[in-house]
Amino acid sequence: MKIQKYVDSFISFENKKIVLVGGTSGIGLELLKHLVSLKAQIILFAIEKELSEKLKEQYNLLDVFYYDQSSFESIEKAIDELLDKHNDFTTIILNAGVLGLSHILDSGYPATIGINYIGNRYFIDYISPKLKNNVRFVIAGSFAAGLFFKKNLVLKSEHISTFDQYNISKAYLEAYFYHLATTRPYPNLEYVLAEPGLTNTTITHNFNKVVRFLGYYFLKWFFHSPKKASLGLLLGISDKAKNGDFISPRGLFKLSGYPQIRKTPKGRRRTYLFK
């Protein structure tokens, strides 16, 4: 099946307002292009101001908001501005994330954990009670969430390796998704999680040139493209998905291929992580 044929199988998103958090590169940018082809009205959240302005003009985006997901103050400010201007969007896609950052944020968390988990969770917690309409959160997960680690972990520790930080942040984020989807603290909100599998995205840009080069071509040769990897998020936005759905590639080891909806694996239901 051709990717565009798969995209065209969805009903048009015309007049559907969608908030895309993290859409200037990689999977997020490919998703943005799919949404444009389906005539969605896109509200972009991004940290790169100049690039976002170019995308706004190129794809006729509805609006752009600039924010830093490592800063609670920045998240609050951007959300307040969003709600002042737009209160009729139907979907929020949480796709922003990093890999390879090891410094400590002002909040006390290692950067990768602070951005991938704490930042996303703060975004959800801050905006949720303010939403009056029916809204769906589509959360970008990772197969790395299935990797296990000790239960009694101190997230603000300075002694967590860079790679462990990524796995930990995704495990906590997916556990939080499962908690929200099953408890429904706000009945008007829905939660869907989509794991994109493995692909050659720009998320590795914080590593040295050798690692970036080897990682890019290894992922490019053996796994699917960001264009295909973004289809899971697209499926999560559509009417084909519902609250609590877990989406992953249907290929070998769930690492590449067209997306499928299935039950949340037991390894992602670690609600004890944040209790």
pLDDT mean over 186-191: 98
pLDDT-based confidence at residue 148 (cuts at 50, 70, 90): low
pLDDT mean over 234-253: 93
Over the stretch 2-21, which tens digit does the pLDDT of each residue have? 999 999 999 999 989 999 99
The counts of H helices and E strands in the chain are 10, 8
pLDDT mean over 130-150: 90
- pLDDT for residue 79: 98
pLDDT of 226 over the 80 cut: yes
**Which residue carries 């972990």 as its tokens?**
153
Domains and CATH numbers, the chain: 13-274 (3.40.50.720)
pLDDT mean over 190-211: 70
Look at residues 43, 14, 78 and name the one whose alpha carbon lies nearest to residue 52. 43
Compute the distance between CA of residue 160 and CA of residue 82 in angstroms, rounded to an integer: 35
| 37 residue type, one letter | S
pLDDT of 165 over the 80 cut: yes
Compute the distance between CA of residue 247 and CA of residue 143 in angstroms, rounded to an integer: 11
